[in-house]
Amino acid sequence: MSTLTTNALRERKFSPVSIEQPFADFVMSVGHQSITSAGALTAVTEETALETARAQKSIVMGLVPFDPSRPATLWVPQSYTVEERKDAGTATDGSHNFPAPSRVEGIDNPRYRQAVGDAVARMNNGEFDKVVLARTLTAHYDQPLNIADVYDNLTLQQPRAYTFSVKLPDSDEYLMGASPELVFKTEAGGRFNTHPLAGSAQRSAHPGDLEDMQIGEQLMRSAKDRAEHATVIDDIRSRLAPLTEELDAPAVPELMTTPQLWHLGTKITGVLKGHLSSLDGARAIHPTPAICGTPRDIALESIREYEDFDRGYFGGLVGYMDADGNGSWALVLRCARVSPHRATLFAGAGIVRASQPESEHAETATKLGTFGKVLGISTR
């Protein structure tokens, strides 16, 4: 493949980590299909991505950082495959066991509880309405992890999620996750849907039993969670309105589930104007109040103040689109940066005036548990 020079595009071949079996640079499962890259990856900008995909008869895949001011990291692969997603059946546990970590940092995080308390006090003073605060947990390994096996566990345990693995440039790390949330998807004719989630509750120890059903019903009746969800929907609707010919957002949310959590979700549908792409739509609403807060600018500043790490791609977008701009972008959630000797897990919670530091710490522990289970480690 010839090297492209337009707008300083550069071609690079990502080298896989030295593990027992090679692993793709980009894999994402949406519904019953998995998209996998092959061969060299050509780095592109948002402005040149579709043009390059058309020229190479390929697609665009990549990541958008949480910070909306930062550029996307996008590639056009030399080739790609679309396959039926592995049938996980009814599996709830991964088939691979990993060595115990030599140490785990961040299970208890007093700084996080303090940040929640400070944010609630500022909200009660009228400074802002909501902020999403996140924390990390890092497991260190003397015996190396097999990267392919980690992703295999993830897909087995999360058969209904948007699972993904992306090799991070100039690093031995892979960003992996099992997102429950579709940010934006388009099809031919500009038809789109987005399915934001906001408001959550931990499921019972036996999902599907009476206690579990009651937890879901309580979430649906929760004034705090319903108000938080409505804020997200109103924000998305106002941001999409200038870009759309049609826009429909149901007035009442639905209950959604992952193996660990109940969520409130609303499926918003419509038709985009002109020749806007799925990434254009996703960028218009990113970051939503569900992953950032309101007002957005104040929430972004508060996140930078309270969090002791750079989110990078956590809370950002992962996805792909064809040369016509149609594709899917999911939120980077329930995720970790994984290398052979370290795994850093990320999770956040929406903080509002009624939030309690201990409860939010427990909620993030539950969310960290999605990837913790993949590795076989406790997050509490």
Whether omega before 180 lies within 30 degrees of 0, making that bond cis, reads: no
1 inside domain:
no
Number of neighbours of residue 359 by Cβ within 10 angstroms: 13
- How confident is the prediction along the chain (380 residues), in pLDDT tens digits per residue? 222 222 322 333 333 333 334 589 999 998 788 999 999 999 999 999 999 999 999 999 999 999 999 999 999 999 999 998 765 444 445 589 999 999 999 999 999 999 999 999 999 999 999 999 999 999 999 999 999 999 999 999 998 899 999 999 989 999 999 998 899 999 989 999 999 988 889 999 888 999 999 999 999 999 988 988 998 899 999 999 999 999 999 999 999 998 889 999 999 999 999 889 999 999 999 999 889 999 999 999 999 999 999 999 999 999 999 999 999 999 999 999 999 999 999 999 999 999 999 999 999 999 999 999 999 999 99
141 inside domain:
yes
92 inside domain:
no
How far, in Å, CA of 141 to CA of 81, rounded?
33
Rounded to two decimals, the pTM is: 0.87
91 inside domain:
no
In terms of Cα–Cα distance, which of 294, 372, 297 is closest to 126?
294
Please report which helix (H) or strand (E) contains residue 320, including its range: strand 317-321
DSSP per-residue codes, 215-282? HHHHHHH-HHHHHHHHHHHHHHHHHHGGGEEEEE--SS-EEEE-SSEEEEE--EEEEE-TT--HHHHH
130 inside domain:
yes
90 inside domain:
no
CA 223 to chain centre: 26
* The two three-digit tokens of residue 89, written as one number: 């059946």
* The two three-digit tokens of residue 249, written as one number: 């957002």
In terms of Cα–Cα distance, which of 182, 52, 140 is closest to 338?
140
351 inside domain:
yes
Quote the domain boundaries for residue 136: 6-85+98-375
CATH code for the domain in which residue 44 is found: 3.60.120.10
Q: Which residue bears the tokens 């996805």?
A: 319
331 inside domain:
yes
Asked if 173 contacts 366 with a C-beta cutoff of 8 angstroms, the reply is no
Catalytic amino acids?
130, 181
Residue type, 117: G
Query: What total of structural domains would you count in the chain?
Result: 1
How far, in Å, CA of 313 to CA of 195, rounded?
20
